[in-house]
Structure 1
């Protein structure tokens, strides 16, 4: 039965003695430490009799030391060996003074920050190469043995990343095509060349805006989703459990997402192209009074399908980059929610940056090839 902490002050051998009893623990302490400190306030050299203590933990030992203050001397303490050892440990712990953190300032702080940034850049590059190696190994194993591919999650992810994204992709590119048509009509009318608005819409939508808008939307939609899903599994140690059971997380989690985006981005690019051309055709019809039949015929005669295939050729690269960045950031999540938030944000930012960079590289390549 637990007894509350208590004490009595008596005279033994002509010296005031504090006789402690009960459980000097976090549960049984209550206000005994405060009462003991008040009772010993005017006592110079008391003796502490701790033999009657039933149980004692660090909370009780700290209360005794705080009440005794500087008046506690080892030779004036009577207690069992384990209680004495506990008092020594707590006393040593409370004597440790925290060392103030001196933050460097000026040029040194700037150089340290730059150094950490460079080190983080190389560490991030190394982690990317490691992730790419695991992904290529899983892809090679699945290519050699297609039975290893988990088609059920691939189909489910295709629906989530592809079919569910069609409305937002179509709506966005519709208004992008309408805005391009409106700007082209207003500017080209001043030169009497408003008919060339059709070529402007066709080339910009079919060559650039279809794949660029689709990829950016999927970067914010799918890359963040992949990072959050895999990251939450990493936090809950589900990925560690998969590895213990002999399941490769790259085959079970990363490869289906990689394949899903690879299958769906060309379809979404086609939908974006149609929606952008429709938006441009409607604006041209309303503003310039050019019929949709004329618009379509001029697209066929003067724009052609080459620009569409140029835009579509970027789709597999964009899909691979978005899926890889999202999954890789999810794999890097630590054990706290803050790390999950940072990685999800990093997935979106890195994916959008990579998309714009890849689009610029493709533009330079096709410009050199005169396509």
Structure 2
């Protein structure tokens, strides 16, 4: 009859000394794991008397070693091979309690996050430099410019995004007008709702919301597409046949995002103004002609130039961030999802930071 797994133990100087017998297999383990967990500190695991061991039995031994720092003796060649294969297992059942003060743990987490962000920024800057070098090479050899790839990306980055950006901007214009009218009505200044909608849409919100939408839509697509190409070794195959991935994959996407962002920003601003105009017409009983005439009076050309200056910078940032994160995929399909999320978060964060810097700069030169 096949012997079930069992063990005997004796107390040693530094913990229990356990001697296994029978078969350490899934079918014959019985209550051995439970009894083993009740022993307390274990110093030695003797496998010299076991008849057979499988992966589950080896995992039980490995978990005990990790939990108690026990030493394994008497292992056969078969058992040693299984234990070596599971040597990297740190056991999810072991919980390490961090006994440091709460403020020290918080500082440690802040430092770790700050270091990660700094390394990410350095990587993006380095990637941007490599892209500039590739662009210089393409400019010197004009025949190498991939206009077809750039035009194809116009479709995905720009044209396909028009419905969602238009709807979002139209609704944002309505919200701005409604909230502004509620506050201004207290002072009898509902007419200045037009000022609020016009300047906010052209100068800030139209472009900013468009950049966030493009980051979530196109930036994530760039990261996912390039990450998948990395996993399927298409990038390596391109390098093998002498095609630069930077020139063939990255530059068309970044160029498309940079070129289409001003157009999308202007389109979003117009849609937001139309949404605000619809509310002003229906909610405040102001005719569209008055609304348009008022917009012409209160929106300076500097707001329009500010939008056109910021838009390509935002597009370039989104394209570079998405492509960079895609190029960082190394191991498995799960990392594609992580890098895609990182591309969206990093792009939105950097866009908002740059928008704040632009606001301070333009105010300092008198473009208020």
TM-score norm. by structure 2 comes to: 0.73
Aligned to 2:152: 156
Q: Give 1:106's match in structure 2, choosing from 95, 99, 108.
A: 99
Aligned to 1:239: 235
Aligned to 2:322: 326
The within-5 A match list for 1:183-262 is 183-262=179-258
Gaps of 5+ in 1: 1-32, 38-64, 70-86
TM-superposition CA deviations, 1:15-34 (whole Å, max 9, x none): xxxxxxxxxxxxxxxxxx99
Question: Secondary structure, in 3 states, of the residue corresponding to 1:67?
Answer: strand
Q: Does 1:90 align with 2:74?
A: no
Deviation at 1:90? Answer: 2.5
Deviation at 1:104? Answer: 6.5
Question: Secondary structure, in 3 states, of the residue corresponding to 1:107?
Answer: coil
Question: Secondary structure, in 3 states, of the residue corresponding to 1:314?
Answer: helix
The within-5 A match list for 1:1-371 is 66-67=50-51, 89-90=77-78, 92-93=80-81, 103=96, 105-107=98-100, 110=105, 116-117=112-113, 119-371=115-367
- Does 295-304 or 202-211 show the bigger shift? 295-304
CA contact (8 A) 1:150 1:256 kept: yes
Question: Secondary structure, in 3 states, of the residue corresponding to 2:330?
Answer: coil
The 3 A distance-change label for structure 1 pair 137 and 295 is same
Deviation at 1:368? Answer: 0.8
CA contact (8 A) 1:258 1:319 kept: yes
CA contact (8 A) 2:314 2:351 kept: yes
Deviation at 1:112? Answer: 6.4
The 3 A distance-change label for structure 1 pair 129 and 209 is closer
CA contact (8 A) 1:239 1:249 kept: yes
Distance 1:297 1:314 in 2: 26
CA contact (8 A) 1:234 1:335 kept: no
CA contact (8 A) 2:124 2:320 kept: no
The alignment's C-alpha RMSD in Å is 2.9
Question: Secondary structure, in 3 states, of the residue corresponding to 1:259?
Answer: helix
TM-score norm. by structure 1 comes to: 0.73
The 3 A distance-change label for structure 1 pair 286 and 223 is same
CA contact (8 A) 1:211 1:312 kept: no
- Does 343-352 or 105-114 show the bigger shift? 105-114
Higher gyration radius (CA)? 1
Q: How many residues align?
A: 295
Question: Secondary structure, in 3 states, of the residue corresponding to 2:163?
Answer: helix
Aligned to 1:57: none
Question: Secondary structure, in 3 states, of the residue corresponding to 1:190?
Answer: helix
Gaps of 5+ in 2: 1-23, 29-48, 54-74
Distance 2:183 2:351 in 1: 29
TM-superposition CA deviations, 1:247-297 (whole Å, max 9, x none): 111101100001101111111111111111111111111112111111111
